[in-house]
């Protein structure tokens, strides 16, 4: 349960979609309104979560099953919610999180083809009724995103997946934006950074402008 006024914002997108820029834009938008949010990420955000993240991104665990991968992600999420997200919201602090459960629906449900029916019970178990108040999904064509990510760093275990994996993940993200219009916003992130920033700010204004 969040204290009155505190909001939970998540940022989603395929590799190289521009989440880092989006997080900076959100932080600036909130700072201009006197709000200093907790900015965190998944998998990660806690000591245990960061250790799980290292395992998940490491090529030496390339043969990990989709079930193991999904359960590790939710273990990290349980810790993150208990240690970081829920305490902050309860204390009235805004939380901005780089990826959350929509990523599990997209990457494990879609990419790994587990299907959403395997994710839903875990979401219910770990989160109860907690859902983000706003999710900004940065939509970018798969190849363009992978090219951006490759230009920045060596591919990790996920970034080394085939394009078909990311096409399935993208399809899930796009479908979820259509089925969860109360909180999910699809932002075209294929254009230049200035335009993407403007779209992010417009969405923040529409969602929270009346509050802050
Ligand atoms: N994962 C995560 C799951 O499988 N299931 C889950 O449930 C969760 C939570 C790590 C991995 O974990 C997986 C998905 C991920 O593979 P991550 O580190 O958050 O998660 O994911 P990454 O996608 O690896 O994060 P990135 O940092 O690569 O993506 P970003 O933040 O979207 O990319 P960013 O902002 O660094 O941009 C990449 C490059 O593109 C440029 C930037 O300057 C940068 O160089 N760029 C643009 N260039 C031109 N025009 C634009 N509009 C641009 N936007 C960005």
Distance between Cα 57 and ligand 1 center (Å)? 13
Which regions in the chain score pLDDT beneath 50? none
Domain boundaries, the chain: 8-208
- The reported pLDDT for the residue numbered 3 is 65
Q: How many CA atoms lie within 13 A of 94 on its CB side?
A: 20
pLDDT of residue 29: 98
The pLDDT, as a whole number, for residue 5 is 87
Q: How far apart (Å, rounded) are the C-alpha atoms in residues 164 and 180?
A: 24
Q: Give the span between the Cα atoms of 183 and 185, in whole angstroms.
A: 7
Token digits of residue 197: 């920033």
Ligand 1 touching residue 23 (CB < 6 A)? no
**Is 200:26 a contact under the CB 8 Å cutoff?**
yes
211: number of Cβ within 10 Å: 10
Protein fold of 8-208 = Rossmann fold (3.40.50)
- What DSSP string describes 16-80? TS-HHHHHHHHHHHHHTTT---EEEESS-SSHHHHHHHHHHH-GGGTT--HHHHHHHHHHHHHHH
Q: Is the CB of 20 under 6 A from ligand 1?
A: yes
Ligand 1 atom 5, closest CA: 104
- Cα 14 to averaged position of ligand 1 atoms, centre (Å): 6
Cβ 19 under 6 angstroms from ligand 1: yes
The two structure tokens encoding residue 42: 């998944």
Residues with Cβ within 8 Å of residue 147, at least 6 apart in sequence: 16
DSSP of 111-131: IT---HHHHHHHHHHHHTT--
User: 109 CB under 6 A from ligand 1?
Assistant: no
Q: Is the CB of 148 under 6 A from ligand 1?
A: yes
């Amino acid at each position: 349960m969040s204290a009155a006024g505190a909001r939970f914002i998540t940022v989603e997108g395929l590799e190289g979609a521009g989440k880092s820029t989006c997080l900076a834009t959100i932080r600036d938008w909130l700072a201009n309104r006197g709000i200093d949010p907790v900015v965190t990420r998944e998998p990660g955000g806690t000591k245990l979560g960061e250790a799980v993240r290292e395992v998940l991104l490491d090529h030496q665990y390339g043969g990990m099953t989709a079930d193991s991968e999904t359960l590790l992600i939710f273990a990290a999420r349980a810790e993150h919610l208990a240690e970081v997200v829920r305490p902050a919201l309860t204390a009235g602090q805004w939380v901005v999180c780089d990826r959350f459960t929509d990523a599990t629906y997209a990457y494990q449900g879609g990419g790994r083809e587990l299907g959403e029916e395997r994710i839903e019970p875990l979401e219910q178990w770990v989160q109860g009724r907690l859902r983000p108040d706003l999710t900004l999904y940065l939509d970018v064509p798969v190849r363009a995103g992978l090219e951006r990510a490759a230009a920045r760093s060596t591919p990790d275990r996920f970034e080394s997946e085939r394009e078909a994996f990311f096409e399935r993940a993208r399809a899930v993200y796009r479908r979820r934006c259509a089925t969860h219009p109360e909180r999910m916003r699809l932002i075209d992130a294929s254009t230049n950074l200035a335009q993407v920033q403007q779209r992010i700010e417009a969405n923040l204004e529409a969602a929270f402008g009346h509050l802050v």
